[in-house]
Amino acid sequence: MSDEGKKTRRVLCIVWAPFSARMNELAAEIGGKKAIFTFLYGRMYFAPLRYTILFLRTMLLIARERPDVIYSQNPSVFCPMSCLPYCMIWRKKLVIDHHAVWSMKTFSTGFLSRTIRSLEKFVVSRSYANTAPHPLWARELEKMGGRNVLTIFDYVGNNEEKRDERVREKYSQGRKFIALAPHGGHPLERIESEIEGARSIDSLTLLLSGPPSKLKVRLSQIELGSNARYIGFLEREDYEKLKASVDLGLSITDEPYTISHSLLEFAASSIPAISSEQEAVRLLFGDSLLYVNSSKKEDVRTAIESMIDDPKLLSDFKERIRQCQYKLQTRREQEIEVLRKLLNLPES
């Protein structure tokens, strides 16, 4: 296909959720038009009605846009399934971005998991290509018979903000060190271990952030203590300034598959970070993070104290995460170019 033909290809990126930072970035990098739909989100008992409404909205959109490529996100698997008939009938390309393998991440076992797995296998094996944020999901897609399976890691661009002493004064409560622990609300995030691990460290203030809708009730059941503080969900500008001004990042979880977005944000801000050693995290970050032996509060405390008590170690991990960010940027550019070539799009 000529370059002129490539330039006129219409790419439609569809997500059935309130937002998707990942799809926002992917759509921008391949020149796709975003369509993010939601209806009665999060209410399980409304699922049949929700998916019916979202299906109809998607069909109307596709009929109007007539895209050459549809880039659809899973979960939910019903989103790419709704797009598949159009692509098969009109010989267009369906690419599925698997933010997660839904049957494994959300349901794990049981009848519902097996049903979702069957649907995922059906649509994965019939799509033109499949993308995933790390090799663990990519392997699962290959097991399902997926073609053109690409790993495209998430990426966060460098934080342009600088360390601000006024921000530190606002949040430090007069203590020397500030640790930031962002959360999304997953039940396997070990917020309690972070709080308990930091509790007896007098020189440390622990800041917990994340959406009140998912964290407020859980945090109300935990004794925060004098050196832990929940700061809610900050506006983007304020959050970037805070990340540039803290000393340490925490990401403690027992969730086995997901790479916490906070780790990418720490890298973007050159924040030395302590993390659980999940396979997906190790594959991406290597030795640029300090890994805890377990998510128990004792191990979290030991890791925090080792960083605070040894300035050289803290500085070493700050340099490691800075170098990792450069590698992440280079890798991301290469992955996007592979995707663009696969879809016959012009080079960026």
Q: Whole-angstrom Cα distance, residue 100 to residue 115?
A: 16
Task: Supply the pLDDT for residue 108.
Answer: 65
* pLDDT, tens digit, 9 for 90 and up, residues 19-48: 898 999 999 999 999 999 988 876 776 888
| Residue 106 pLDDT class (50, 70, 90 cuts) | confident
* pLDDT, tens digit, 9 for 90 and up, residues 283-313: 999 999 999 999 999 999 999 999 999 999 9
What sign has the CA pseudo-torsion 107, 76, 96, 23? negative
Q: Whole-angstrom Cα distance, residue 312 to residue 304?
A: 14
Q: How much is the mean pLDDT over the chain?
A: 93
Rounded to 5, what percent of the chain is helix, strand, coil? 50, 15, 30
All CATH 3.40.50.2000 domain ranges in the chain, comma separated: 3-152, 165-327
CATH class of 3-152: alpha beta
Q: Whole-angstrom Cα distance, residue 335 to residue 149?
A: 12
Q: Give percent of the chain above pLDDT 90.
A: 83
- Per the confidence metrics, is the pTM higher than 0.85? yes
Q: What is the amino acid identity at position 294? A: S
* pLDDT, tens digit, 9 for 90 and up, residues 258-269: 899 999 999 999
Q: Does pLDDT of 321 surpass 60?
A: yes
| Structure-block tokens of residue 244 | 């540039």
Does the structural domain 165-327 have CATH classification 1.10.260.40?
A: no
Closest to 24 (Cα-Cα) out of 41, 36, 39? 36
Q: Whole-angstrom Cα distance, residue 25 to residue 32?
A: 10
Q: Whole-angstrom Cα distance, residue 293 to residue 137?
A: 24
